[in-house]
Amino acid sequence: MTTEPSPALDPASPPAHPRLSLALGMFVAVVAFGLLVFGLSFRAGLDQASARGASDLALASDRLTTGLQRYRELAVFLSDHPTVWARALSPDQSADVARATTNVLQNLADKTGAHSLMLVARDGTVLAAAGEQTLPKGAQAAFNRAMSGALGVAHFVDTDQQRRYVFAAPVFDPGGPARAAVIVNVNIGLLEWGWPTEPSAIYFTDDYGVVFVSNRSELVLRGGLAGPMPVTARRQISGHDLWMHEAGPYIPSPALHITRPLPVIGLEAELLMDLKPVIALSSLQAGMAAALALVFATFWFFARERRRTLAEANTRLEARVATRTQALEIANRDLTREVTERLEAEARLKRVQADLVQAGKLSALGEMSAGISHELNQPLMAIRSFAENAQAFLERDNAAKAAENLGRISELARRMGRIIKNLRAFARQESETITNVELTAVVEAALEMTMGKVARAGVTLDWTPGEPVWVRGGEVRLQQVVMNLLSNAVDAMSDSSETDKRIEIRIFAGQDGGIPTRLTVADTGPGIAEPDKIFDPFYTTKEVGASEGMGLGLSISYGLIQSFGGRIRGANRAKDGQSPKGAISGAIFTIELIPARIDRTQETSE
């Protein structure tokens, strides 16, 4: 009787630790590969972010330089003004000359927004002034340089903690030295107030390292004697300067630090760009690469283990063939069965994987098709209606009307193409060129597409076209937003018990300088159950099967309006028209857009 060798003592049995070591090595290799992809992606992202940041910093620098340059030119202009020149050369003239000089300074101060304008004699006497009546102490250096015949420039903080920038232009005696100086005092805070909102922190430091100008109020006057920037760590990667700091919740950290010298105004421009999006994108790419590498490594590991298992089984069978012929046949059958089962299991695994991949493709295709059909349903219905009308006109030998309908069908097809293009651009976070768009025409076009649905639902339309109102945006994308709001309003009132089903559309023209143009779409439906979630993706109040909506329309509309620099909001209307605590009498959506500057010549040509 033969005895089986113990597995623990069988020399053909491989030890367990090489497999563990191999698996651990594979895991380390996958992690190293992921870190390599992260590093490459992060460096590429840094290059792109650096290019964008340099462009933003250049724009901000040009904005500040241009804003200060006009005050420099104002100082030079006033130094040659006849009234100012006469007052500077003859300070003992009549009170009328002094009053005329003061009026000139006051008039230009009002028009340019300068903090103060003054004419100062060589001995420091203020001959005429608009605003401050005495020469500030911080402007003395600029005044002294002007008295030497050059243009003086200085910046300082006054006693009220207001930041000032001063230009001093000399007023020359004909053929002689400077007799007086025109001092132009600028409030830097007023320049900052008119700047657009920047996602990055931009600031300008002087020779002492003090932040004198910034789009972040918490950075103003930091540095220098007030202490350096609270940078906790600095690192150089591929020539880029990375900062970690604790400057405040609104200052990005980690951030890409970019500098730009501005010798014209005696400052240095600096920018801190948020690197969290770059890190997030690099992490996502590294994770995907590591996951893919892990899948391939896992398949390779199991294939290798399978081959080694078969080789070990064959080795054991060959070692026992001489003494166990009969046992060999049984073992051979068992091995064959095991191989067959493994092959079947592998085939089933491949089929399951293929089914999962196909299911993922079908799911993505279904979401994309549902979103596109939601946006193109109304144009398709209009095309169908125009096609049926064209057929009827052809049967009546009315070719002109049929051609008109075919022309409308062609126009709708072009609009559908533009809508698909906009949907694709929106999905990729892209935007077309923003132009001047006539808002009344956009509403008219949207109503033309949805009037059939409005009429079938028994809804009364309260809309009266007025004067053209021009805004900044995209014509097709604005039509898409208005059509979505109209369609949602009709759907909201489809099951309403109210006898007065009405949609009100109003346009309130804005003005340049901060007052936006508003477009409101209100209905008399049941209102919005959760206004805070109305713009979330895939949020919908429609019943399953009752509509084609997927909760994407308002989310897409929100992104489109934001791409124009505007905003959209939804709220409930109270029955009393005033108090939000009254009974709900429908919903109202408000779109705010930037007014466009249109001169009369362009408006007539339009």
* Per-10-residue mean pLDDT, the chain, length 606: 44 59 83 86 85 88 86 88 84 76 87 87 87 85 88 85 89 84 88 77 85 83 69 81 79 85 86 86 86 85 83 78 71 86 81 45 42 62 83 85 86 73 47 81 80 81 90 84 86 74 91 85 87 74 51 75 88 63 73 80 45
Give the separation between CA 200 and CA 250, rounded to whole angstroms: 9
Give the type of residue at 472: R
Give the per-residue pLDDT at 225: 59
Residue 368 is predicted with a pLDDT of 42
Q: Which residues contact 312 (CB under 8 A, 6 or more apart)?
A: 12, 13, 14
Judge contact between 163 and 179, C-beta under 8 A.
Answer: no
Would you say 469 and 441 are in contact if contact means Cβ atoms under 8 Å apart? no
Q: Cα separation of 449 and 439, whole Å?
A: 16
- Enumerate the H helices of 428-509 as residue ranges: 439-456, 475-492
Q: What are phi and psi of 223, to 5 degrees?
A: 90, 175
d(CA 181, CA 85): 10
Given a contact cutoff of 8 angstroms between Cβ atoms, the answer to whether 91 and 128 are in contact is: no
Q: Residue 38 to residues 257, 275, 278, 527: CA-CA distances in angstroms? A: 21, 14, 10, 48
- DSSP letters, 263-323, are TTTTEEEEEEEE-HHHHHHHHHHHHHHHHHHHHHHHHHHHHHHHHHHHHHHHHHHHHHTTT
Look up the pTM and report it.
Answer: 0.45
How far is residue 250's CA from residue 266's CA, in Å, rounded to a whole number?
Answer: 27
Phi and psi for 48 in degrees, rounded to 5? -65, -45
Residue 267, strand partner residues: 262
Closest CA to 506 of 523, 493, 490: 523
β-sheet bridge partners, residue 595: 471
Beta carbons within 8 Å of 585's beta carbon, 6+ residues apart: 524, 527, 573, 574, 575
Q: Which helix (H) or strand (E) holds 64?
A: helix 16-79
Nearest CA to 554 out of 585, 530, 579, 574 is that of 530
- Euclidean distance between CA atoms 594 and 573, whole angstroms: 25
211/202 Cα distance (integer angstroms): 10
